[in-house]
Structure 1
């Protein structure tokens, strides 16, 4: 089986699990007044799970139409070693680390560190610009979420007591 069909099979499994969660478990704890609403919190996940499952089935069953020859810029799964898989894996690891450190390290520290390390992984070496952009972007996002939207984000690490 081709790589695209294996990926479609994995995505179909993810969509089925996501759909089961959306259809059967998300709405169990709804307040009584919300049960009469036409749109529930699970409406968008239900739509996503159905559309994702249909798209995965189209690819899995080969219904997407005739195959076109690959173009010069297309990814060739037979040459995956030629691509920068290490950079992609490092970025994925950095994203996981960011998610794990967001609460204990605080938004400002973890987001600034994520942006700086991510740009280093991608090859940026202009340190003043890199640090400046990371600090300004992190501060602007924190201000918009905290002050404008009113959503609390722990700005500093937990041991600082904020």
Structure 2
């Protein structure tokens, strides 16, 4: 089986577990006043799980490929060292660090640091563009989530 189908199988497995949690375990502890709402906190996870399962099945069953196309896959798993594996692993590490630093460092600093370091890892070297864009993007996302949607995000580190 090709690498894309193996990846689709792994994503399908994760999406099935996520879908099970979204459909059967998330709504059990809702207060009674929220049970009458048309949109629950689990609505988006349910939609995301269904779309992910459908997309994974399309790739796993090979429905996205045309029948006359019998060319080799784009990614050769025997030559993974030829790809930018260091950048990918660094980005995964940055994502984990972002998740761990989000509460103690505050949303603005953690998001700014993640966007800046991630862009640097991917090869952006124009710091006069990178830093203002990361700062503006962090602030705009915080403002939309905190002020417009009313979901509290701690903007500053815990000691402020």
Task: Report the TM-score range of the alignment, normalised by the length of the smaller protein.
Answer: 0.7 to 0.9
Aligned residues: 158
Deviating more after overlay: 42-51 vs 111-120: 42-51
For residue 25 of structure 1, report the CA deviation from its aligned partner: 0.7
**Aligned pairs (5 A) from 1:95-134:** 95-134=95-134
Structure 1 pair 64–150 and aligned structure 2 pair: CA distance change class (3 A): closer
SS at structure 1 position matched to 2:9? helix
1:88 lines up with 2:88 in the alignment: yes
**Aligned pairs (5 A) from 1:34-49:** 34-37=34-37, 39-49=39-49
Q: Which has the higher helix share?
A: 1
Unaligned runs of 5+ in 2: none
Structure 1 pair 139–15 and aligned structure 2 pair: CA distance change class (3 A): closer
Structure 1 pair 10–105 and aligned structure 2 pair: CA distance change class (3 A): same
How far apart, CA to CA, are the structure 1 residues paired with 2:57 and 2:147? Answer: 44
How far apart, CA to CA, are the structure 1 residues paired with 2:145 and 2:43? Answer: 25
The corresponding residue for 1:60 is 60
The corresponding residue for 1:135 is 135
How far apart, CA to CA, are the structure 2 residues paired with 1:100 and 1:119? Answer: 19
For residue 91 of structure 1, report the CA deviation from its aligned partner: 1.2
Over aligned residue pairs, what C-alpha RMSD do you find?
2.8
TM-score (norm 2): 0.78
**Aligned pairs (5 A) from 1:61-76:** 61-64=61-64, 66=67, 68-70=69-71, 75-76=74-75
The corresponding residue for 1:146 is 146
